A and B are shown apart, each in its own frame.
Chain A
Protein backbone atom coordinates (compact mmCIF):
# COMPACT_ATOMS: atom_id res chain seq x y z
CA UNK A 1 0.00 0.00 0.00
CA UNK A 2 2.64 2.54 1.03
CA UNK A 3 4.93 1.26 -1.72
CA UNK A 4 2.22 1.83 -4.31
CA UNK A 5 1.55 5.34 -3.01
CA UNK A 6 5.29 6.10 -3.05
CA UNK A 7 5.63 4.88 -6.65
CA UNK A 8 2.64 7.00 -7.67
CA UNK A 9 3.96 10.18 -5.99
CA UNK A 10 7.48 9.74 -7.40
CA UNK A 11 6.08 9.16 -10.91
CA UNK A 12 3.97 12.34 -10.71
CA UNK A 13 7.00 14.29 -9.49
CA UNK A 14 9.21 12.97 -12.29
CA UNK A 15 6.53 14.02 -14.80
CA UNK A 16 6.73 17.60 -13.52
CA UNK A 17 10.54 17.59 -13.55
CA UNK A 18 10.61 16.30 -17.16
CA UNK A 19 8.12 18.97 -18.27
CA UNK A 20 10.28 21.63 -16.62
CA UNK A 21 13.42 20.46 -18.41
CA UNK A 22 11.60 20.49 -21.77
CA UNK A 23 10.61 24.08 -20.96
CA UNK A 24 14.15 25.11 -20.17
CA UNK A 25 15.35 23.65 -23.47
CA UNK A 26 12.67 25.11 -25.72
CA UNK A 27 11.60 28.53 -24.44
CA UNK A 28 13.06 31.69 -25.97
CA UNK A 29 14.28 34.07 -23.24
CA UNK A 30 15.39 34.05 -19.61
CA UNK A 31 12.06 35.14 -18.13
CA UNK A 32 9.98 32.42 -19.76
CA UNK A 33 12.67 29.87 -18.96
CA UNK A 34 12.57 30.88 -15.31
CA UNK A 35 8.80 30.62 -15.41
CA UNK A 36 9.07 27.04 -16.66
CA UNK A 37 11.85 26.14 -14.26
CA UNK A 38 10.78 27.54 -10.92
CA UNK A 39 7.15 26.38 -10.94
CA UNK A 40 7.72 22.82 -12.13
CA UNK A 41 10.91 22.41 -10.13
CA UNK A 42 9.26 23.27 -6.82
CA UNK A 43 6.28 21.00 -7.41
CA UNK A 44 8.28 18.12 -8.90
CA UNK A 45 10.86 18.04 -6.12
CA UNK A 46 8.01 18.36 -3.60
CA UNK A 47 6.24 15.29 -5.02
CA UNK A 48 9.38 13.15 -5.32
CA UNK A 49 10.43 13.93 -1.76
CA UNK A 50 6.87 13.27 -0.56
CA UNK A 51 7.03 9.86 -2.23
CA UNK A 52 10.35 9.10 -0.54
CA UNK A 53 8.92 10.22 2.82
CA UNK A 54 5.90 7.92 2.36
CA UNK A 55 8.23 5.04 1.45
CA UNK A 56 10.26 5.72 4.60
CA UNK A 57 7.23 5.22 6.85
CA UNK A 58 6.38 7.04 10.05
CA UNK A 59 9.84 7.59 11.52
CA UNK A 60 12.00 10.56 12.46
CA UNK A 61 13.64 10.41 9.01
CA UNK A 62 10.23 10.99 7.43
CA UNK A 63 9.97 14.22 9.43
CA UNK A 64 13.44 15.29 8.31
CA UNK A 65 12.53 14.66 4.66
CA UNK A 66 9.47 16.86 5.23
CA UNK A 67 11.79 19.59 6.57
CA UNK A 68 13.90 19.41 3.38
CA UNK A 69 10.68 19.52 1.34
CA UNK A 70 9.52 22.72 3.06
CA UNK A 71 13.03 24.17 2.67
CA UNK A 72 12.93 23.61 -1.11
CA UNK A 73 9.41 25.00 -1.28
CA UNK A 74 10.46 28.20 0.50
CA UNK A 75 13.85 28.58 -1.15
CA UNK A 76 13.17 27.98 -4.83
CA UNK A 77 10.84 30.98 -5.41
CA UNK A 78 13.20 33.26 -3.48
CA UNK A 79 16.16 32.30 -5.68
CA UNK A 80 14.15 32.67 -8.91
CA UNK A 81 12.83 36.05 -7.79
CA UNK A 82 16.28 37.36 -6.87
CA UNK A 83 17.82 36.16 -10.14
CA UNK A 84 15.05 37.62 -12.28
CA UNK A 85 15.08 40.93 -10.42
CA UNK A 86 18.80 41.13 -11.12
CA UNK A 87 18.12 40.31 -14.79
CA UNK A 88 15.44 42.99 -15.07
CA UNK A 89 17.46 45.68 -13.32
CA UNK A 90 20.50 45.01 -15.47
CA UNK A 91 18.57 45.79 -18.64
CA UNK A 92 17.19 42.51 -19.97
CA UNK A 93 13.56 42.70 -21.10
CA UNK A 94 11.12 39.94 -22.08
CA UNK A 95 11.22 39.36 -25.82
CA UNK A 96 8.09 40.45 -27.66
CA UNK A 97 8.53 38.37 -30.81
CA UNK A 98 6.80 35.07 -31.39
CA UNK A 99 8.93 31.97 -31.53
CA UNK A 100 9.10 30.57 -35.03
Chain B
Protein backbone atom coordinates (compact mmCIF):
# COMPACT_ATOMS: atom_id res chain seq x y z
CA UNK B 1 0.00 0.00 0.00
CA UNK B 2 2.84 2.42 0.74
CA UNK B 3 4.28 1.92 -2.77
CA UNK B 4 0.86 2.82 -4.19
CA UNK B 5 0.83 5.98 -2.08
CA UNK B 6 4.35 6.77 -3.30
CA UNK B 7 3.16 6.40 -6.92
CA UNK B 8 0.21 8.74 -6.28
CA UNK B 9 2.59 11.20 -4.59
CA UNK B 10 4.90 11.20 -7.63
CA UNK B 11 1.97 11.64 -10.02
CA UNK B 12 0.64 14.60 -8.02
CA UNK B 13 4.03 16.32 -8.00
CA UNK B 14 4.33 15.78 -11.77
CA UNK B 15 0.88 17.34 -12.26
CA UNK B 16 1.96 20.30 -10.16
CA UNK B 17 4.91 20.77 -12.53
CA UNK B 18 2.45 20.87 -15.47
CA UNK B 19 0.47 23.60 -13.72
CA UNK B 20 3.72 25.41 -12.93
CA UNK B 21 4.42 25.53 -16.69
CA UNK B 22 1.09 27.35 -17.13
CA UNK B 23 1.95 29.74 -14.30
CA UNK B 24 5.31 30.61 -15.84
CA UNK B 25 4.26 30.75 -19.51
CA UNK B 26 0.63 31.88 -19.18
CA UNK B 27 -0.25 34.56 -21.73
CA UNK B 28 -2.50 36.57 -19.41
CA UNK B 29 -2.32 37.11 -15.67
CA UNK B 30 -5.57 35.20 -15.16
CA UNK B 31 -3.90 32.05 -16.49
CA UNK B 32 -1.31 32.43 -13.77
CA UNK B 33 -3.98 32.87 -11.08
CA UNK B 34 -5.83 29.78 -12.32
CA UNK B 35 -2.62 27.76 -12.41
CA UNK B 36 -1.82 28.77 -8.84
CA UNK B 37 -5.33 27.73 -7.80
CA UNK B 38 -4.78 24.30 -9.36
CA UNK B 39 -1.41 23.94 -7.66
CA UNK B 40 -2.89 24.76 -4.27
CA UNK B 41 -5.75 22.28 -4.70
CA UNK B 42 -3.17 19.59 -5.41
CA UNK B 43 -1.10 20.74 -2.44
CA UNK B 44 -4.11 20.23 -0.15
CA UNK B 45 -4.55 16.67 -1.45
CA UNK B 46 -0.79 16.11 -1.17
CA UNK B 47 -0.72 17.18 2.49
CA UNK B 48 -3.46 14.68 3.42
CA UNK B 49 -1.61 12.03 1.41
CA UNK B 50 1.67 12.73 3.26
CA UNK B 51 -0.23 12.43 6.54
CA UNK B 52 -1.61 9.05 5.48
CA UNK B 53 1.85 7.86 4.42
CA UNK B 54 3.43 8.80 7.75
CA UNK B 55 0.33 7.73 9.75
CA UNK B 56 -0.01 11.19 11.26
CA UNK B 57 -3.22 12.34 9.58
CA UNK B 58 -4.38 14.14 12.74
CA UNK B 59 -1.54 16.65 12.40
CA UNK B 60 -1.45 17.07 8.63
CA UNK B 61 -5.21 17.49 8.23
CA UNK B 62 -5.05 20.71 10.26
CA UNK B 63 -2.27 22.03 8.04
CA UNK B 64 -4.27 21.24 4.91
CA UNK B 65 -7.43 22.91 6.29
CA UNK B 66 -5.46 26.05 7.05
CA UNK B 67 -3.88 25.95 3.61
CA UNK B 68 -7.31 25.64 1.96
CA UNK B 69 -8.71 28.64 3.84
CA UNK B 70 -5.62 30.76 3.11
CA UNK B 71 -5.89 29.79 -0.56
CA UNK B 72 -9.54 30.87 -0.67
CA UNK B 73 -8.84 34.28 0.86
CA UNK B 74 -5.73 34.89 -1.24
CA UNK B 75 -7.31 33.93 -4.56
CA UNK B 76 -10.42 36.04 -3.90
CA UNK B 77 -8.25 39.03 -2.95
CA UNK B 78 -6.21 38.70 -6.15
CA UNK B 79 -9.41 38.38 -8.22
CA UNK B 80 -10.99 41.48 -6.68
CA UNK B 81 -7.77 43.44 -7.13
CA UNK B 82 -7.47 42.49 -10.80
CA UNK B 83 -11.14 43.26 -11.38
CA UNK B 84 -10.72 46.81 -10.12
CA UNK B 85 -7.40 47.49 -11.75
CA UNK B 86 -7.99 45.73 -15.05
CA UNK B 87 -5.42 43.56 -16.78
CA UNK B 88 -3.29 46.26 -18.34
CA UNK B 89 -0.21 44.16 -17.67
CA UNK B 90 -0.03 41.07 -19.83
Contact = CB atoms under 8 A, between A and B. Distances in A.
Nearest to A89: B83
Mostly, the A contact residues are helix
A86 B65 CA distance: 26
Contact of A91 (B21, B38, B78, B87): B87
A82 B45 contact: no
Interface size class of A (residues with CB under 8 A): 35 or more
A80 B34 contact: yes
B33 to A, nearest CB: 5
B30 A25 contact: no
Contact of B37 (A21, A80, A89): A80
Interface in A17-58: 17-18, 20-21, 24-25, 30, 33-34, 37, 41, 45, 48-49, 52, 55-56
B9 to A, nearest CB: 11
5 contacts: A14-B8, A24-B35, A48-B49, A56-B57, A71-B65
Q: Which 9 residue pairs spanning A and B have beta carbons closest together?
A: A82-B79, A86-B83, A90-B86, A87-B30, A90-B87, A79-B75, A21-B18, A86-B82, A61-B57
